[in-house]
Amino acid sequence: MPLFLSEELQKITGLIPHAQKSNPVVSKKGIDWHLSHSLKVINGICKALIVSDSSEYKHSFNIKRSYVFLTGGFPRGVGKAPKAVSPSDQITEEDLLNQINKVRAIIPELSTLPLNSHFKHPYFGMLNLERSKKFLIIHTNHHFKIIKDILKNQ
C-alpha cells in the first residue's frame, strides 16, 4: 500500500520548478507560497495528531465541515491561513525540499496512531485521525487547483 499522501508529495515535488510563478488575478500568493503552506499544514496536523490524547476526542456536528467534506472542496478566498502555517516571504527550493523530507518522515507515524487521535481545526472543530487525513487531501487539492489556474493563466 502506498504511503498516505505519496501522490500529493510527488506532485508537490514536480511543481517546485514552477515555484517562482505567480498570477495576482488568480491568487495574491505565488506557487511557492501555496506549496510551502500545504506542506506546513500537513506537517503541523501530523504533529498535532501525534501528541493528541485520544481520550479527549469528542465528535460534534459541524455544518461547515460537513459541506466541505461532502463537496470535497473549499470556496476560494473565504478562509485565512493561520500564522503558524503561513510561509515567509522568502521561499527557496531548498526550503520546499526540506519540508517535503520532514513530511515524508512524519507521515508513517500516522499508521501507528489510535483512531481518536485528533487536532482542532479553527473552522471545522475537532477532527479525528480519519477526518484529519480526509481534510489533508481536500486542503492539498484545493491548493493544487489554485496552482493549476496560476499556470493556466501565465
pLDDT in tens, 18-77: 999 999 999 999 999 999 999 999 999 999 999 999 999 999 999 999 999 999 998 888
Among residues 138, 122, 118, the alpha carbon closest in space to that of 71 is found at 138
> Which architecture does CATH list for 6-17+29-152?
Up-down Bundle (1.20)
127 grid coordinates: 477532527
CB atoms inside a 10 Å sphere around CB 86: 13
pLDDT of residue 88: 82
Report if pTM > 0.75.
yes
Q: Is 81 in contact with 25 (CB distance < 8 Å)?
A: no
Backbone angles phi, psi at 88, to 5 degrees: -70, 175
Among residues 151, 122, 153, the alpha carbon closest in space to that of 11 is found at 151
Band (89; pLDDT cuts 50, 70, 90): confident
**Sequence spans of domains, the chain:** 6-17+29-152
**Strand spans (E) along 29-107:** none
* First CA to last CA distance, the chain: 37
pLDDT of residue 84: 83
